Amino acid sequence: MNAILILSGLGVASLVAEFTNLRRWLSVVIVLGLISAVVLTIKDWNASHRFYNDMVVFDNFALAFSVLITIIGLLWFWSSAEYFLQKEARTDRAALALFAMVGSIVMTSFNNMAMLFLGIEILSISLYAMAGLRRDLNSTEAAFKYLLMGSFATGFLLFGIALVYGATGLFHVDAIAEYVSANSATLPGFFYIGVVLMLAGLAFKISAVPFHFWAPDVYTGAPTTVTAFMATIVKIAAIASFVRVFTVAFASVQTTWIIILEIITLLTLILPNLMAAYQDSVKRMLAYSSVGHVGFILLAMISAPASSNSTILYYLTAYAVASIGSFGILIILEKETPDLTIQRFKGLFAKSPLLAIGMTVALLSLAGIPPLAGFFAKYAVLVQALSGGNTGLVIAAVLASLVGVYYYFRVIIAMFLKGDDEKPVSVTTLHQILTVLLIILTLGLGLFPDGILKLF
């Protein structure tokens, strides 16, 4: 709860800073605020707090995901520091991002379907504006597409919530769970339709195939900083809400949704990875690959719905750290020329070794090469899936990650080959420190995964 209050306060403060002329203090205030939000959230560990007639519950699950969102938020602000130093609409940008983070935290901590809806809307409305911030054709297209698809998905979700309410008369997640397991024989048919509609609505939000088609276009069109935000914070929040709805509220009617979800998982493992292999734009490739990673997370979830939360949290952490790293480097390169094709990466190692190594570590982690965090994340998922008996999906996952190796290595190979020129890329000290930090984090998370894997 502290995190929600602090982040909302920071959001309002950013808006106020615009006309009270406190703009230059804003970055410092945001950083301090985020750090204190992390500290206060961690202090609540193991003390489950409930608010507003149980509509919001901060249990360990919510706390862990909130901390992750806040820390990644901090790293994101760091990586896009220059984005916030531009004169134009600086405070609005910060406020939008902060409000989006508030929405994400609500999405991890809701105990009421209405709060889920509220969280998603707070997040989405801020994001629609963020995606359109660059005011050129691509950015506007991305924003408009996101708005249309997002509204469509929210419609499904609302309809599903309404049907579930009609069948159970309940909005509270834990109450629905109890009611469903007690009255499983007498549930009306439209309850199941409600469950499936909610599944479709939330699948849009986590961009699982076949509800993913908006993602590559929106990710590519939006400003790269915003893409990084969508690929990390938004994805963490969406997955958290997805896990919460299906492993808590609908746990006892698992048979209705698990087969659909298995098919979705299979498609999400295969299609985006194949598509990513055909991309020439690194940004678009990363967009597809971020859809592909959802497949692994879903695989963990369907293999052990009750006990996979720590695996999912670890996977998201590893993925988010690597994503901030790779998008951060795209942001730097984009400053010089907007061209982000693989050609652009040729010879990067000679031009700027640190950037090339940072990018390599991030991509190796995403590809799942030991001893980096991404490997242990995939490994934990695969072991869970094998002991859950999903051998077929495991084979698909292994093949998908081999395809992943191919497209990530296209970029890595380009960076270490000889380029056309050796003009060094200018990198701010702030970003150099961030790159080193992210390399250490990726290695550290890999070598000491117990801290997260044994949380729950």
Partner 1 sequence: MMTVFLILFPLLVAVLLFAVRPAQAKLLALIAAVIEFIASLVVAFNFNALGGTQFGLDTPWMTSLGLNFAVGMDGISLLLVLLTTFLVPFIILSSFNHTYDKPSTFYGLILVMQMALIGVFVAQDGLLFYLFWEVALIPIYFICLIWGGENRGWITFKFFVYTLGGSLIMLTGLIYLYLHTPGSHTFAISALYEAGRSLSAIEQSVIFWTMFVAFAIKMPVFPFHTWQPDTYTVAPVQGTMLLSGIMLKMGIYGLIRWLIPVVPLGVQQWGMTAVILSVIGIIYGSCIALVQKDAKRLVAYSSIAHVGLIAAGLMTLNPLGVQGAMVQMLSHGILVVAMFFIVDILENRLKTRALDSMGGVRNVAPVFATTFVVVMLGSVALPLTSGFVGEFLLINSIFQYHPVLGAVAGLTIILGAVYMLIMFQKAMSGEVTATTSGFADLTLHEKWVLYPIAGLVILIGVYPKPLLSISEDAVQALLQSVSNATAVAPL
User: Which residues contribute to the site for partner 1 (CB under 8 A)?
Assistant: 310, 349, 353, 364, 369-371, 375-376, 379-380, 382-383, 386-387, 394, 398, 401-402, 405-406, 409, 413-414, 416-417, 448-450, 453-454
Q: For residues 15 and 405, which CB has a smaller minimum distance to partner 1 in the complex?
A: 405
Q: How far is the CB of 309 from partner 1 (least distance, A)?
A: 13
Q: For residues 117 and 315, which CB has a smaller minimum distance to partner 1 in the complex?
A: 315
DSSP string over 387-426: HTT-HHHHHHHHHHHHHHHHHHHHHHHHHHS--S--PPPP
Q: For residues 114 and 417, which CB has a smaller minimum distance to partner 1 in the complex?
A: 417
* Cα–Cα distance for residue pair 289/283, rounded to 1 Å: 10
Q: For residues 196 and 383, which CB has a smaller minimum distance to partner 1 in the complex?
A: 383
Identify the DSSP state of 199: H
Q: Which two tokens stand for residue 102?
A: 């508030």
Amino acid at 336: E
Q: Which two tokens stand for residue 356?
A: 């090339």
Q: For residues 260 and 453, which CB has a smaller minimum distance to partner 1 in the complex?
A: 453
- State the alpha helices, DSSP H only, in 55-136: 60-79, 90-109, 113-131
Question: What spatial distance separates the first Cα and last Cα of the chain, rounded to whole Å?
Answer: 20
Q: How far is the CB of 383 from partner 1 (least distance, A)?
A: 6
Q: For residues 184 and 391, which CB has a smaller minimum distance to partner 1 in the complex?
A: 391
Q: How far is the CB of 216 from partner 1 (least distance, A)?
A: 25
* Cα–Cα distance for residue pair 383/404, rounded to 1 Å: 19
Q: For residues 239 and 452, which CB has a smaller minimum distance to partner 1 in the complex?
A: 452
Q: How far is the CB of 198 from partner 1 (least distance, A)?
A: 32
Burial category of 433 from C-beta neighbours within 10 Å (exposed 0-12, middle 13-18, buried 19 and up): exposed
Q: How far is CA 68 from CA 41, 46, 83, 142, 424, in A?
A: 10, 16, 22, 27, 34
Q: How far is the CB of 450 from partner 1 (least distance, A)?
A: 5
Whether the Cβ atoms of residue 330 and residue 340 lie closer than 8 Å to each other: yes
- Candidates 274, 281, 273; CA nearest to 330 is 281
Q: Which two tokens stand for residue 401?
A: 């990650």
Q: How far is the CB of 98 from partner 1 (least distance, A)?
A: 34
Q: For residues 280 and 336, which CB has a smaller minimum distance to partner 1 in the complex?
A: 280
User: Residue 379: which residues within 8 A CB-CB, separation 6 or more?
Assistant: 368
Q: How far is the CB of 61 from partner 1 (least distance, A)?
A: 17
Q: How far is the CB of 33 from partner 1 (least distance, A)?
A: 33
